[in-house]
Structure 1
Amino acid sequence: MTSTITRDGRSVAHGSTPPSLPLVPPPKLRRRPALVAGAVAAICLGALLAAWAWTSTTNTQEVLVARSTIERGSLITEDDLARVRISADPALSPVAASAFDDLVGKRAALDIAEGGLITAGATTTEAVPRDGASIIGVALSAAQSPGMALQAGDRVRLVVTPPPGGEQSSGPPAFNNAEVVEVNYDSESGVLVVDVLVPHADATVLAARAATGNVALILDSRER
């Protein structure tokens, strides 16, 4: 009987079954819970971001805003409007950008601040001054006008005052009710020029009074 020397130095006789090598167990994989949790969190965050992006793009709409401040009664031009895409609350009734051409040529029904949304009630086709009304300008000094800043739409009274050195009449002074349309201040002269809307029948009398400079302006309640 012959024998053969195996690799491990043992002698194995021919005709016999060589002994089997011991099996090496597979390496054990180490579980890392922190990595698993991080992967799950990343997947969830990605899903949330995708949902937010989809919602933000599908709920936006292109609307019109004021490129610059538009004063009440002003004629709206193309340069006054800009198109923006925002997520607007439908309760605000914003005007869609597709109505751009329809708004050009209309008038502002109220003061619209720069960047403000153009809403359904912000414009009007009514001319200023309206039929049966007139606009006159009244130049006032600091002593003839209130200290509060006047705004378009304010209701005021223009009161006739006695001339310098003149005597006050015994009865109540004459006055006219009016509505402020626009206010301009001349910093060089310190004069405040107030354009007021009055009934057509009162325009000539009030203009004559304003020309004398013997008038004072009273601001009435702003509550409507």
Structure 2
Amino acid sequence: MKNRATVPGPPVGDVMRPDLDIIDPEPPRRRRRSFMVIGAVMVLAGAIGFAGLLNASGERSDVLALTRDVPAGQKITGEDLRVVALPDDPGLKPVAAAKKNAIVGRRASAALSEGSLLTARQLTGRGGLRPGEALVAVEVKRGMAPVDALRPGATVSLVTRPKEGDVAGKEQSELTEVGGRVVRIGAPSSSGDVVVQTAVPDAKSGVVASDASAGRVAIVLKAEG
């Protein structure tokens, strides 16, 4: 009988262990530090991108805003205004900051609120007039105007009484009525008469002035719309 060759087996205790042949992973503490660094870089990149997006969102312009309330009819001073920077918006039409010197001295055509933007429509001319208006001085007799309630900027109607010799009992609807806006109010005279300077449409100014000189104009205060 032939002797068979004996193949030596692996030494006892040297059995291969697959888990020892794999490189140990990075320690947990080092992994956490790497994630924190990556996260910080991502946050920084996001902040830079957001800032760039804001800068690219549109050009900004310096415009005028109110630092305090300004009543209707009052002159606007430099202390009433401040400069703010806003993104350009075609829906907004505030007055540019470069026009501040031209705005000072003009009057508010309506009550202006602190913090609001100033627009050209909120202003009268330096003489208290808007384009297309004329200034008429109306001397009203005692009882023909609510003098105590009148204020610059108030909306009024100038109502003309019928001339002497007109049909008695003429209907109120047939009276001449012209819309206007109070610009200035004079001090009452000893007889109680008051001169009210009123802005009226230029086309009606001649008629109103003629009727006012005849003492036939009464002033009616309108509710604010």
Q: Which structure shows the higher helix fraction? A: 2
Q: Report the TM-score, using the length of structure 1 for normalisation.
A: 0.49
Q: Which structure shows the higher strand fraction? A: 1
Q: Report the TM-score, using the length of structure 2 for normalisation.
A: 0.49
